[in-house]
Structure formats: structure tokens, C-alpha cells
Amino acid sequence: MSYTGEVTVGGPVDVRETPGLTITKVATPPFENNCYLLRCTATGDTLLVDAAGDAPQLLALAGERLVGVVETHDHWDHVQALEEVTAASGAPVLAHEADADDLPVPTDRRLRDGDTVTVGEAVLSVIHLEGHTPGSLALLYEGDPERPHLWSGDSLFPGGAGNTEKDADRFTSLMDDLERKVFGPLPDETWVYPGHGRDTTLGAERPNLADWRERGW
């Protein structure tokens, strides 16, 4: 597999071909956020996950068939290019209902846990992971027979859950959701695409869940 998921700002994108989807990962300035372009291989329709920065590059990668922008949460470093991308493309904005009002542009579709998002013939499931923000979400694609694919935003990284600012209630909520909705039902092969940094798999992270609970962050 040539895809590694290792990208840097100003460097080349990394592209992965899976059944039904072409996945393009790009790191954008100024905070090295990961953005993902998910293109349906049957129709060419493209979904952007997080319009974090460098709108011209995101628009160029998306092409003329950008059918939506999903924001995994409302933190400002993940939405800096959202206004420019949507103004240029006319693509609708999708976000969880608990974060929708804090985005810099109106949300066209308010998502809930268990909803689905379609891009061409590909279907992605919405997983609400409350804790990093009230409306943080992940997107799950199960159309690849080799492995599920999970875009986790800032809720799950290599080495731990997302930042909950030392708030015990928020941390417990996020860990509960991750264990119940992600680690519980999904296999070790599940590939995780986070909002910053390198990718991981659930199998690589699963042995550490108890340690994360104990340290509390």
C-alpha cells in the first residue's frame, strides 16, 4: 500500500484508492490541520471533510463537483477556509446540530448521531462523539471490504482521545462515546484519519484504552 497518511504543509497530498472512494489527505496552514477530499469513484462527486485552511488548494483538489463540506466540529482552526470554499463552490455545509450555530457560515444540514451522508454512490455514517466539543462527530465509511474508514476530527488521535481541557465530565463523555460507538462495534483494521498529524488504526490504539482512562486526558 503506497498510502501512508504522512503529509506536511506545503508538501504533496497523499491519495488512497478504496472501493467506491478516492481519499485525498492534505495538510493545511497555519496549524497543520488535516483536510480530506472524499471522491466517489462512480460519479466524481466530492465531499470535503473540514475546510481548515488554504481555500484555493482545497478548491483545486475538489474540482467542479464539490457536493458538500462536513465540519467535524466548530473549532476555529478547522473552519478558517469554510467561508471562501462555500462562497466559491456553492457547496452546502453539514455539521452536528450542537456545533452548527458556531460556524462562520450558515449550516445547511444539521446532523445527528446515526445520520448518513452521501457522496455520489458512497454512504458515510455520522457518529456523534461528545466531549472535544458538544457537537464533535466522526464519519464512517464501510464500503471497503478490507477495512472500515473513520474520519475522527479531533476526537481520536494516535495516543489518545481529543483534548477536553482537563474537564472530567467532558473527558468521560468522550471516552464513553469512543468505547461504545467506535472501539466496541468496529474491528481493529479500521483506519483512523484524524484532524491533525498521522493516521492510526483502532487495533493500534485499543490496548491503551485503560491507560487513557487512568491518566484522565
Domain boundaries, the chain: 14-215
- Asked if residue 187 has pLDDT above 80, the reply is yes
- pLDDT reading at 1 higher than 80: no
Each as own residue / partner, the long-range contacts of residues 172-176 (CB below 8 Å, 24 or more positions apart, any chain) are 172/131, 173/130, 173/131, 174/129, 174/130, 174/131, 174/132, 174/136, 175/131, 175/209, 175/212, 175/213
Res 50: pLDDT: 98
Confirm if 139 and 127 have CB atoms less than 8 A apart: yes
Q: Could you write out the DSSP letters of every residue in 170-182?
A: HHHHHHHHIIIII
pLDDT surpasses 80 at 188: yes
- With 90 as the cut, is the pLDDT of residue 120 above it? yes
pLDDT for position 70: 98
Proportion of the chain above pLDDT 90, given as a percent: 98
Per residue in 123-140, pLDDT (tens digit) is: 999 999 999 999 999 999
What's the residue count for the chain?
A: 217
In this prediction the pTM is: 0.98
Please write the tens of the pLDDT for every residue from 22-36: 999 999 998 899 999
Residue located via cell numbers 457537537? 135
* Residue 125, burial from CB neighbour count under 10 angstroms (0-12, 13-18, 19+): middle
For the domain bounded by 14-215, which CATH number is listed?
A: 3.60.15.10
Q: What are the tens digits of pLDDT across the range 66-113? A: 999 999 999 999 999 999 999 999 999 999 999 999 999 999 999 999
Average pLDDT, the chain: 97
Q: Which of 161, 148, 151 is nearest to 187 (CA)?
A: 148
Contacts of 18 (CB under 8 A, 6+ apart): 141, 143, 144, 146, 149
- pLDDT at 121 (0 to 100): 98
Q: What is the pLDDT of residues 37-51, one digit of tens each?
A: 999 999 999 999 999
The predicted structure's pLDDT at residue 13? 98
